[in-house]
Amino acid sequence: MFKKRITKKLEKYVKKYFKQHQNIKLIVVAGSVGKTSSKLAIATLLNEKYRVRLHTGNHNTHLSAPIAILGIDYPGNPRSFWEWHKVFKAARKRIKSPSENEPQVIIQELGTDRPGDIERFSNYLLPDIAVITAVTPEHMEFFENMNAVAREELSAANFAKIAILNRDAISSEYSNLITNPNFSTYGTTVSAEYSFEVDDLNLVEGYIGKMNTAEFGQIPVKIKVFGEHSLLPVTSAVAVAAKMGLASDEIISGLAKIQPVFGRMNFLRGVEDSILIDDTYNSSPAAAEAALRTLYNLHVPSRIAILGDMNELGSISAVEHQKIGNFCDPLSLSWVITVGDKANQFLAAAARNRGCQVKTCANAIEAATFARKVMEKGCAVLLKGSQGGIFLEEATKILLKDKSDISKLVRQDERWAREKNDFFETFSNFEEDEV
């Protein structure tokens, strides 16, 4: 009851805020995967022309999203009435603030755990643009099938003025769920209004190529990200920027400033002159397959995939882990190292059946310890897994060549350090196996 009352009050404050500041544009980002990367890419481009507000964290629930929209700090103790009293006071002050002190654009993630979560945002938000990044398996313990997931994520497109949809990751079979006629698409093929054509890729400059746009035709650009799926958030940002009136030179300038997001296909130098692909922020079937595809395309002496559990897949978890195991190529991978119950049971078995060398590990530290023993000079190592109970960033930490790069890893603050220390202490000391 307490949480419900707090949420209702916050929603009223947000409605009052936008009524008071009608010139502020609202851009929302929804979808199964890629929300944070898209949000940050959009912000980078729009900063070329506008004052932008966004929260870099995952404040995307009905309790946290209103606070992020208003630019207020989340209470340190969300169970405290007095903490919320301070939030409400700050909200009232924000509503009354002069327009010149407020952003021109607000970018906000919309998250979902259960059916109806996203549609509820329509009670108090009227986005100028909604970006839908993907419809892929998520929170399947609460969604009965993929059609239910699609209905949930695509609802954001229907209560926005303009929708921008990922043509690659949203199946055409869900087109009947889109009722908003004012939409555009982005993707990796020219069938989308916004797409990127790759001319070259190197580890210094990233991707070099041409961005196809509806407004400007082709724009020559350089984008310092890695992995073709990392190009999709950038392409969505170009679509938003064009809709928001940025000129082509402003888009080019903004694209040059985009940097890899920590924990999301971030290339780091590892021991043995290795390349570490740090993709440890989270994992899903689509993202894991895309990350493996990037690993396969690297011209290196050998490749290792450290793959952890993909959480929140419900009844389809076993099948989806098996699919990733079947995608592990014995001709491309010297080792597949798995972490977590589901990965160890289902992914590992499927990879073995394909002919891969497989090592199952109880935790990220054991995985990194084993990887160090089998790494060849100049190899590439992919680290990919969900955050809860996996924490593969701790394996990345062990494999780093330069320990100053620890600052580029996810979940390194004191709160996460305490949680991870407690987690790893649940494991008894393991013997370092011989290869």
For residue 139, the model assigns a pLDDT of: 66
Q: What angle do CA 27, 32, 33 make, to 5 degrees?
A: 85
Q: For residue 423, how many other CB atoms are within 10 A of its CB? A: 16
Question: Cα separation of 265 and 257, whole Å?
Answer: 17
Taking alpha carbons only, the member of 40, 388, 93 closest to residue 225 is 40
Q: Where are the domains of the chain?
A: 2-256, 266-424
Residues pairing with 211 in the sheet: 196, 219
**Beta pairing, strands 105-109 & 25-30:** parallel
Could you give the CA distance from residue 10 to residue 18 in angstroms, rounded to a whole number? 13
3-state secondary structure of 61: coil
CB atoms within 10 A of CB 377: 10
Long-range contacts of residues 343-352, Cβ cutoff 8 Å, at least 24 apart: 343/307, 343/308, 343/309, 343/310, 343/385, 345/318, 345/321, 346/317, 346/318, 346/321, 346/322, 347/307, 347/321, 347/322, 349/322, 349/325, 350/321, 350/322, 350/323, 350/324, 350/325, 350/326, 351/325, 351/326
Which residue is it, tokens 């979902």? 112
Q: Which residues of the chain have pLDDT under 50?
A: 431-435
DSSP class of 377 = T
* CA distance from start to end of the chain: 56
Domain 2-256, CATH = 3.40.1190.10
Name the strands in the sheet holding 380-384, side by side, starting at the edge strand that comes first in the sequence: 266-270, 274-279, 380-384, 303-308, 335-339, 358-361
Q: Which residue has the tokens 């938003």?
A: 240
Beta-ladder partners of 274? 270
Q: What pLDDT does 428 receive?
A: 64
The C-alpha atoms of residue 36 and residue 53 are separated, in whole angstroms, by: 14
> Across 263-391, where does the E strand assignment appear?
266-270, 274-279, 303-308, 335-339, 358-361, 380-384
- Cα(27)–Cα(29) distance, rounded to whole angstroms? 7
- Cα separation, 273 vs 430, in Å, equals 27
The Cα 202–Cα 324 span in angstroms is 27
Q: What local confidence, expressed as pLDDT, does residue 432 receive?
A: 46
Spatial distance between the Cα atoms of 165 and 162, rounded to a whole number of angstroms: 10
Q: Is 3.40.50.300 the CATH classification of the domain at 266-424?
A: no
3-state secondary structure of 306: strand
Rounded to two decimals, the pTM is: 0.81
